[in-house]
A and B are shown apart, each in its own frame.
Chain A
């Protein structure tokens, strides 16, 4: 089944809010080999002008994950998870994520293109905080390999 080109007109409901915790920031920071004291030490984050621990630049992927799961589970999407390859990733930030943020992500599919036997799909997850202010938009380009490749 080919990837449904009409995915771009589907409206996906926002996923449940994600509460950013200090320990998750510390674990993520260790996992990406961060040496930034603002990721680990509340006093250092505070001295830099932040309310609490600052998350590393790619932390938004943790929040984005639920929206990608939503995409892969979308009925009749034509997306076979076993055939999905992550092609590109981007983050456009209004501000860093900080512990205590309650983040809500909303998915939209911005493009579906056929490329040879494959499909290339761009999924954009817009992430806002508890005040409705934009924090970061995470964009993934997924390559869905065709049946014969």
Chain B
């Protein structure tokens, strides 16, 4: 199967609640109170409780894992935390991930993630390099590789 640069390979929307943040705090060991206490968040000038950047990073790569479906490993994954994701106590927050093929070459495939919440992008330069390479169309590949 060949893939083309610019092709959208996966999309996913995740609804975060305060429960999600508490669950991530416990699972990751990151108990910074700005992720569960509004008073502490506000005392350091934030609008309120924020999602852990690492939670956003962690969930954003899952559509790539699903698409990869065991066909290769993740070689590298990096992001910039450009904007916070405030999580309202009553209504939560919605995070949308769009995964697009950014580069194909013989060593790896790069997938670029567009991650947004509340209409704004929250991660910058979010890129995943995977060992799965689908550079050539099947017809061009030697039989042994197909």
Judge whether A13 is part of the interface by a CB distance below 8 angstroms: no
Cβ of A65 and Cβ of B75 under 8 Å apart? no
How far apart are the CA atoms of A125 and B104 in the complex, in Å?
Answer: 29
Q: Mark A25-67, 1 if CB is under 8 A from B, else 0.
A: 0011011111110100000000010000000111001100100
How far apart are the CA atoms of A28 and B29 in the complex, in Å?
Answer: 10
Interface size of B as a range:
20 to 34
Q: Mark B18-49, 1 if CB is under 8 A from A, else 0.
A: 00100110111110000000000000100000
Cβ of B26 and Cβ of A27 under 8 Å apart? yes
Q: List 18 A-B contacts (CB under 8 A).
A: A27-B23, A31-B24, A31-B55, A32-B27, A32-B59, A38-B70, A56-B58, A56-B61, A58-B54, A61-B28, A62-B28, A65-B30, A88-B78, A89-B79, A91-B78, A92-B75, A93-B76, A96-B73
Chain A residues with a Cβ under 8 A of chain B: 24, 27-28, 30-36, 38, 48, 56-58, 61-62, 65, 82, 85-93, 95-96, 139
